[in-house]
Amino acid sequence: MTSIAFIGLGHMGAGMAANLAKAGQKVLAFDLSAAALDRAVGAGCVRAASTAEAVAAADVVITMLPAGTHVRAVWAAEVIPHAKPGCLVVDCSTIDVESARFVAALATKAGLRAADAPVSGGIMAADAGTLAFMVGCTDADYAAVEATLAPMARVVIHAGAPGAGQAAKICNNMLLGISMIGVCEAFALAEKLELDPMRFFDIASKSSGQCWSLNTYCPWPGGVESAPSNRNYEGGFLTALMSKDLKLAQDAAAKSGAATPLGAQAQALYALFEAQGYGQKDFSAILQLMRGRMADL
Ligand code: NAD
């Protein structure tokens, strides 16, 4: 049995920690929220009084926190000073590449092993143990990272050195944001041209326009039964999170000198949609912005 400190038991961390406990690991859980910690204990985790207490007793540490500032603060002040020598520390949050590389370097300098392993898949995948992990770590550490993540994963992929997992995540989500907007624009045009949306779905999903945003996550209700469009865009992957990831992608593009004009447009559109009060809707709800039918939401 491995002792795993799990820090950050929110929407995603709750299910992830529960799946580790279900797999027979000793999960030492901590969250600033007492309610989140109580839920984790109810799901088989062991209550820790602080991050430091959980980390000090662990062979592996996992953090699942809101953003880069939280990860920098928690790793520097609470994880690194208290971790056992050689401890494996894995951050699964979605954060900027620069912060991921910074905390990995700090941890390595302190004699620890570090990885970034952001996830694709939302709360349902976290609960079901079917997340996709994109891992940035050394070749030497990868086997241990993969074994740690397995009970929470559908797939684990080694993207490269520390920071590469975050780079893969923001590039993937920029592509997803752009493709969703493209699909929504096509539906909006089809509607104006009096083409039946479901006929259009049947055709495009079998033609060269097919993509995940259309075939698996169709934003027009009725296309794909399991898609959030069939439940008034509740649940799924929140617009606020897509907006966050597109902002991370644009910050990274500006710093690295990459030209990403469509990513910039996607970020502007999702920021606008979020600012209008739709941050808690699934990101495919942006269809209604394209159609000029926000009142339907
Ligand atoms: P969340 O806000 O629900 O959970 C974060 C948790 O961290 C909260 O319970 C909070 O109390 C805790 N926390 C914050 N600061 C802390 C500290 N200093 N010490 C201990 N606990 C602390 O967020 P979430 O939806 O679970 O997302 C977590 C990360 O996963 C984010 O980076 C997000 O972008 C990413 N992500 C989320 C989803 C999703 O669908 N929710 C999907 C993929 C990736």
Q: What is the DSSP string of the chain?
A: --EEEEE--SHHHHHHHHHHHHTT-EEEEE-S-HHHHHHHHHTTPEE-SSHHHHHHT-SEEEE--SSHHHHHHHIIIIITTTSPTT-EEEE-S---HHHHHHHHHHHHHTT-EEEE--EES-HHHHHHT-EEEEEE--HHHHHHHHHHHGGGEEEEEEEESTTHHHHHHHHHHHHHHHHHHHHHHHHHHHHHTT--HHHHHHHHTTSTT--HHHHTT-SSTTSSTTSGGGGTT-SSSBHHHHHHHHHHHHHHHHHHT---HHHHHHHHHHHHHIIIIITTSBGGGGHHHHHT-GGG-
Question: Does ligand 1 have an atom closer than 6 angstroms to the CB of 125?
Answer: no
Amino acid 286: pLDDT: 98
Amino acid 124: pLDDT: 86
Verify that 9 and 156 share a domain, yes or no.
yes
C-alpha of residue 94 to centroid of ligand 1, in Å: 9
Ligand 1 atom closest to 13 (CA): 26
Verify that 42 and 66 share a domain, yes or no.
yes
CB 4 within 8 A of CB 22: no
Amino acid 108: pLDDT: 98
Q: Give the residue from 111, 141, 162 where a domain finishes.
A: 162
Take atom 38 of ligand 1 and give the residue whose Cα is closest: 122
Best of 7, 12, 94, 243 to mutate for ligand 1, by most ligand atoms within 8 A of CB? Answer: 12
Verify that 18 and 125 share a domain, yes or no.
yes
CB 151 within 8 A of CB 116: no
Verify that 44 and 153 share a domain, yes or no.
yes
Verify that 96 and 230 share a domain, yes or no.
no
Mean pLDDT by 10 residues, the chain (297 residues): 96 97 98 98 98 98 97 98 98 97 98 97 92 98 98 98 98 98 98 98 98 97 96 93 97 97 98 97 98 92
The residue whose two tokens read 């997803």 is 176
Verify that 7 and 154 share a domain, yes or no.
yes
CATH number at residue 212: 1.10.1040.10
Amino acid 183: pLDDT: 98
Is 84 an active-site residue?
no
Verify that 114 and 171 share a domain, yes or no.
no
C-alpha of residue 11 to centroid of ligand 1, in Å: 7
Q: How many C-beta neighbours within 10 Å does residue 275 have? A: 10
**Domain, as residue range, for 219:** 167-296
CB 9 within 8 A of CB 36: yes
Verify that 21 and 153 share a domain, yes or no.
yes
Verify that 128 and 259 share a domain, yes or no.
no
Verify that 111 and 223 share a domain, yes or no.
no
Domain count, the chain: 2
CB 230 within 8 A of CB 221: yes
Amino acid 290: pLDDT: 97
169, 206, 244, 255: the catalytic one is: 169
Question: Does ligand 1 have an atom closer than 6 angstroms to the CB of 74?
Answer: yes
